[in-house]
């Protein structure tokens, strides 16, 4: 947990960057700081790893005052991803990712194994890419390396300073999707600075909207869309988003072709599908496409050595679902209540129609603009 208690930042020329802000970021959530230029969002983020020191107030991480922690040691335990990546051009990809683990004294075999795992997680084959240099990678690939470099030393907190803003729109959207998927797996506490409201709505668990060094509103994307605090927030998020989104149903936002698997298939086949489509769960269906359950990555890993089991033996049966025609608001509330990142949609006969995900919800919402 990260806490800001009455934190202010004033410079010698009298300029005020932050004015007595209070902020609490929960463990494992992705919080986006957003606002117009000069609002204080980057200053706020840089205070977490002491690149900027507050003039007054306290910042606590897990209850400890960070002003009492050696800043170098603090930074080694906080991942940091910046806009221009900052890879060392004379080092290979493997050497770049290994920088902080080496500084922390992690055994070579451990961090080399972890580097390969992380590269696999972001879709870069270690055998193909680990010995290349940054100049041999595309901008999107380099930014993927920047992200996993921040993860390599297993930090509990990662700071991301407009990391995708220099990329082309397609690469940017791909990396946003990658971050959402990655966060579902690693569950780090991520503080993400952005100037793009569409990006914030898509990736964040909570959004902190700032203006002139103050927090104007802090809430979930859905609540901010539904209940903007004032005209500034309403203008900043775009006033027409909510009105049009209220007319949508799950049919409008669901993924039509989610990854499915037959009841009788074995665990090895399930593992292959998860790796192939880079998902952490599979929807289990019968020959009539009736949804029977869900197999998670955790349940698959737990029972994987048992060759006598099929997916129907390990699937979870009691899963929340919605029928076609259900309004978005009801689906979002059900996902919130159960802590879900996705929600199956079925036809009245029980056959699978699609899958609502956090990403598909926001994508559909943005297409209404």
Check: CB of residue 310 under 8 Å from CB of residue 263: yes
2-239: CATH number: 3.40.50.300
**Max CA pair span of the chain:** 72
Q: Alpha-carbon distance 145 to 150, whole Å?
A: 9
Residues 6+ apart with CB under 8 A from 193: 32, 33, 34, 41, 42, 45, 159, 160, 161, 162
- State the pLDDT at residue 47: 96
Give every CB contact of residue 155 below 8 A, 6+ residues apart in sequence.
Answer: 77, 78, 79, 188
**Chunked mean pLDDT (size 10), the chain, 369 residues:** 95 90 94 93 95 95 94 89 80 88 83 85 87 88 85 87 80 82 86 90 92 94 85 79 62 88 89 88 91 91 87 91 88 84 91 88 61
**Fold classification of 250-367 (topology level):** CBS-domain (3.10.580)
Beta strand ranges found along 104-255 (DSSP E): 157-161, 189-194, 206-211, 214-219
pLDDT in tens, 301-354: 888 888 888 899 999 998 899 999 888 878 888 888 888 888 999 999 899 999
Domain boundaries, the chain: 2-239, 250-367
Question: Does residue 41 contact residue 117 with C-beta atoms inside 8 Å?
Answer: no
Report pTM.
0.63
pLDDT of residue 365: 58
**Run of H or E residues at 60:** strand 56-61
pLDDT digits (tens, 9 = 90+) for 25-68: 999 999 999 999 889 999 999 999 999 999 999 999 999 999 99
Residue-level length of the chain? 369
At 236, list the tokens: 């900043």
């Amino acid at each position: 947990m990260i806490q800001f208690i009455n934190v202010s930042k004033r410079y010698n020329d009298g300029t005020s960057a932050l004015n007595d802000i209070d902020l609490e970021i929960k463990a494992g959530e992705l919080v986006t700081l957003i606002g117009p230029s000069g609002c204080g969002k980057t200053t706020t983020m840089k205070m977490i790893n002491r690149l900027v020191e507050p003039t007054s107030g306290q910042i606590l991480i897990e209850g400890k005052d960070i002003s009492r922690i050696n800043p170098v040691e603090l930074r080694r335990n906080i991942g940091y991803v910046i806009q221009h990546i900052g890879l060392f051009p004379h080092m290979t990809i493997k050497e770049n990712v290994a920088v902080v683990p080496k500084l922390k004294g992690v055994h070579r075999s451990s961090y080399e194994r972890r580097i390969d795992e992380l590269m696999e997680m972001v879709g870069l084959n270690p055998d193909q890419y680990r010995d290349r240099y940054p100049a041999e990678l595309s901008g999107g690939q380099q930014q993927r390396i920047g992200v996993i470099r921040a993860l390599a030393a297993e930090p509990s907190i990662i700071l991301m300073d407009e990391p995708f803003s220099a990329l082309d729109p397609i690469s940017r959207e791909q990396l946003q999707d990658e971050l959402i998927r990655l966060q579902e797996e690693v569950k780090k506490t991520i503080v993400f600075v952005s100037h793009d409201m569409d990006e914030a709505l898509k990736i964040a668990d909570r959004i902190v909207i700032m203006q002139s060094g103050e927090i104007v509103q802090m809430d979930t994307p859905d609540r901010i869309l539904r209940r903007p605090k004032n005209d500034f927030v309403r203008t900043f998020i775009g006033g027409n988003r909510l009105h049009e989104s209220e007319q949508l149903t799950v049919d409008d936002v669901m993924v039509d072709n989610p990854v499915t698997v037959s009841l009788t298939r074995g665990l090895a086949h399930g593992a292959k599908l998860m790796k192939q489509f880079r998902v952490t769960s599979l929807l289990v269906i019968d020959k009539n496409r009736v949804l029977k359950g869900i197999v998670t990555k955790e349940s698959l890993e737990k029972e994987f050595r048992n060759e006598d089991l099929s997916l129907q033996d390990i699937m979870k049966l009691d899963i929340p679902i919605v029928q076609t025609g259900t309004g978005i608001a009801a689906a979002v509330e059900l996902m919130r209540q159960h802590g879900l990142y996705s929600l199956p949609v079925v036809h009245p006969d029980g056959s699978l129609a699609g899958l609502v995900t956090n990403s598909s919800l926001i994508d559909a919402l943005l297409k209404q603009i």
